[in-house]
A and B are shown apart, each in its own frame.
Chain A
């Protein structure tokens, strides 16, 4: 990069330059491979069907069309009904927004209690909650299906919101707790001496300083809940299904000549919300990912 001829590093400089070529070459190669599925999806979603069957998958569309996107949204068949994926998209949107808000609020309050109002056994309780993040959810499917049925909220968005809140709390609590641990106790103590109470301390002192952790938590929860498939497939049927389940049905129920362009458009629509969140909040997404891997 910045080499001067005067320095006696010249001999090393040449091999240095070669290693740069290798490094950039490798990174570029991997970047292409990583982008390939997304590129194929986008390109295919803008092609007419005959062009897909005749042409190759990474060629640019000769004749761009947004028809597959419109079809996916309005007329694609999910199982037996052919009203597109729009209804399922809104199912997912409602479910995700509600579950994210509720689980984040609970997580923040839990984190606040677990760090600033510690009591005997608080760490044990936290440990118990933490394990809930890592269980294979197969272990709760049967009881949850039974319970949702008994409560009368099986196959409803309400039921799925409930499930996502229940199994999201451990993550939101983990994030908030690890963040509030580093928040100075002195500020909280001072407010107590001034006579501030539990909620007003939280509201006036912690919450205004919680911006970053709220973003991390919301992004993490949003991505996880929007992308969930297992709970959606287990606890919803027909019209109440979330987007991922509907997409899987779209892809697997077509008969005859498969409209791959519509499949890819549907997949893109399903991916867009989390993809946008990732593009605009990638930094926070990575932070959540790392915090979710416990280290910290």
Chain B
């Protein structure tokens, strides 16, 4: 066969039809995916944004009303509750996951027998749908059947644990279950980070007589800063996107005490016939996630280019 297409990126060679096709082929192969992304990610973002500025309720209409839908969303007590919940949930979820994840990673890094088994135990919640494990959690948190009953059976009759049906405390049950699900992931990231640290520095420090706790605090943990950053970003965006968790555990209740922006959006769009408000809340969710992810992705891509990994 001729070798005209030996240099696919080279300057224009003989314009044989098959050669031209051959040169276009990579782009043709990529094109559907690019088109899909442009239409179904960016096009749909624009579409939803447009809807959020229209008067749409039960179905989409094209009458523009400016910021009205946003004002209506912000006027809802339910939206304030959702934001308040997101703040409580997000902060506790991130902080506890980071702390427990790091703790477990450090413990596992002490030349533990059965490390593989333990790692698998801490990570399995990530592999199962929250709709599934939420069923178990809901049951365990049920005052009449779960942990409270267990404590009573064991003789601790004063033990009360009714958070899931308590308006003020229900949001914390989401934190418990959310942390349970995501800690293993954070642990895996920290463990990878710990294994990447130069052992000689640690040896040198311990020869100097530094205690292990001090070595961790002063030398090892500071070196994990990039892992902290990645974990923080991933957890923050997971917190904002949390949806299954609420549906499975509390259904947003009691009342709407455990609503998050994600469930607020769903309820207004699909059950309350408020497309415009649903769209407006979705846009605000997207902007929050973008504010976190875009700088992060940008720096990741730049960084990898700078280190030659491209």
Query: Which A residues fall within an 8 A CB radius of B?
Result: 1, 19-20, 23-24, 26-27, 30-31, 33-38, 40-41, 44, 52-53, 56-58, 106, 109-110, 112-114, 117-119, 123, 125, 127-132, 134-144, 146, 166-167, 169-170, 173, 181, 192-193, 195, 197-199, 223, 226-230, 233-234, 244, 247-248, 251-252, 260, 263-264, 267-268, 270-271, 274-275, 277-279, 282, 285-286, 289-290, 293-295
A125 to B36, CA, bound (A): 12
A294→B230 contact, CB < 8 A: yes
- Rounded to whole Å, the gap between the CB of B187 and the closest CB of chain A is 10
Q: Which residues of A contact B32 (CB under 8 A)?
A: 106
B255 close to chain A: CB less than 8 A: no
Given contacts A131-B294, A139-B282, A267-B132, contact A125 B48 (CB under 8 A): no
Known: A34-B124, A193-B3, A247-B132. 5 other contacts (CB 8 A): A37-B136, A37-B140, A40-B139, A271-B133, A290-B188
Task: State which of B21-29, B87-95, B214-222 sits at the interface with chain A.
Answer: B21-29
Q: Which residues of B contact A130 (CB under 8 A)?
A: 297, 301
In the A-B complex, the 7 residue pairs with the smallest Cβ-Cβ separation, listed nearest first, are A117-B26, A227-B129, A278-B127, A37-B136, A138-B282, A132-B41, A143-B44
User: Could you list 19 examples of A-B contacts with CB < 8 Å?
Assistant: A27-B107, A30-B104, A57-B147, A118-B9, A129-B33, A134-B293, A136-B285, A139-B282, A143-B44, A195-B3, A199-B25, A248-B248, A271-B132, A277-B127, A279-B120, A285-B126, A289-B126, A293-B189, A295-B189
Q: Which residues of A contact B51 (CB under 8 A)?
A: 142
A135→B41 contact, CB < 8 A: yes
Q: Which residues of A contact B234 (CB under 8 A)?
A: 293
From 1 to 36 in chain B, residues with beta carbon under 8 angstroms from any chain A beta carbon are: 1-3, 5-9, 22, 25-27, 29-30, 32-34, 36
B143 close to chain A: CB less than 8 A: no
A195→B127 contact, CB < 8 A: no
B122→A285 contact, CB < 8 A: no
B128 close to chain A: CB less than 8 A: yes
A142 to B51, CA, bound (A): 9
B188→A36 contact, CB < 8 A: no
B283 close to chain A: CB less than 8 A: yes
B202 close to chain A: CB less than 8 A: no
Which of A132, A192, A244 is the one whose CB lies under 8 Å from B6?
A: A192
Bitwise, B38-52 to A at CB < 8 A (1) or not (0) is: 101111110110010
A30 to B1, CA, bound (A): 64
B251 to chain A: closest residue by CB? A252
Bitwise, B218-245 to A at CB < 8 A (1) or not (0) is: 0000000011001100100100110110
A247 to B37, CA, bound (A): 31
B269→A141 contact, CB < 8 A: yes
B128→A247 contact, CB < 8 A: no
Given contacts A132-B41, A139-B45, A247-B135, contact A34 B180 (CB under 8 A): yes
Query: Which B residues fall within an 8 A CB radius of A?
Result: 1-3, 5-9, 22, 25-27, 29-30, 32-34, 36-38, 40-45, 47-48, 51, 60, 100, 103-104, 107-108, 110-112, 118-133, 135-140, 145-147, 149-150, 153, 180, 184-185, 188-189, 192, 212, 226-227, 230-231, 234, 237, 240-241, 243-244, 247-248, 251, 262, 265-266, 269-270, 275, 278-279, 281-283, 285-286, 289-290, 293-294, 296-298, 300-301, 309-310
A142→B289 contact, CB < 8 A: no
B121→A139 contact, CB < 8 A: no
A170 to B147, CA, bound (A): 42
Provide the main secondary structure of the chain A interface.
helix
- Rounded to whole Å, the gap between the CB of B191 and the closest CB of chain A is 10
A128 to B240, CA, bound (A): 21
Q: Which residues of A contact B27 (CB under 8 A)?
A: 113, 119
Given contacts A37-B180, A166-B40, contact A26 B293 (CB under 8 A): no
B265 to chain A: closest residue by CB? A138
B243 to chain A: closest residue by CB? A230
Which of A57, A192, A248 is the one whose CB lies under 8 Å from B247?
A: A248
- Rounded to whole Å, the gap between the CB of A196 and the closest CB of chain B is 9
Q: Which residues of B contact A248 (CB under 8 A)?
A: 131, 247-248
Q: Which residues of B contact A244 (CB under 8 A)?
A: 129, 131-132, 244
Q: Which residues of A contact B124 (CB under 8 A)?
A: 34, 38, 275, 278
Given contacts A109-B29, A132-B37, contact A197 B5 (CB under 8 A): yes
Q: Which residues of B contact A170 (CB under 8 A)?
A: 37
A135 to B135, CA, bound (A): 27
Which of A56, A199, A274 is the one whose CB lies under 8 Å from B128?
A: A274
Given contacts A30-B104, A106-B32, A129-B34, contact A38 B136 (CB under 8 A): yes
